[in-house]
Amino acid sequence: MPKEVREGAKELNLEEILQILPHRYPFLLIDRVLDYEEGKWCIARKCVTINEPFFQGHFPGQPIMPGVLLLEALAQCGAVALLSEPENRGKIALFGGVNKARFKKQVKPGDVLELRCELTRKDGPVGIGSAKATVNGKVVAFAELLFAIADQ
């Protein structure tokens, strides 16, 4: 996976993301794909706003994006790489597990998350991805994500 978004990057807007991922509001947690390579990696963006439904209760007066939703956003980023492969079109990527997850900084309204997931191992319909979320170049979370591809 490149360190920076490549010149001539393969971008996806929201409408194109909706053609790949089955997620819909309020659970679609990526706004734009900045670059990706089918079956290998994805770099995506999530603009975090005060209007996110989870901020109503997490936490009133001190809104912080829940860590489990950071992991879900990273998983959706990886799912774009997986489901963009021709043989996986129309399928879903299921979350199989999480290893080595760490949360380094709080994510608050106004933050712009850069999400990166590189698929490090695939064995048939299951595999592993190495994922990292940053805000302003600083790591806010990282994890190893396990996934399985299934028919809808």
Nearest one of 112, 107, 72, 108 to 93, comparing CA atoms: 72
What is the rounded distance in angstroms from the CA atom of residue 74 to the CA atom of residue 43? 9
> Are 143 and 101 spatial neighbours (Cβ–Cβ below 8 Å)?
yes
Give the Cα separation of 22 and 40 in Å (integer). 20
The residue written with tokens 């299951």 in the block is 126
Tell me the C-alpha distance between 74 and 114, whole Å: 9
Q: How far apart are CA 53 and CA 51, in angstroms?
A: 6
Residue 137, burial from CB neighbour count under 10 angstroms (0-12, 13-18, 19+): exposed
58 is catalytic: yes
Q: Which of 23, 32, 58, 122 is catalytic?
A: 58
The residues annotated with a catalytic role in the active site are 58
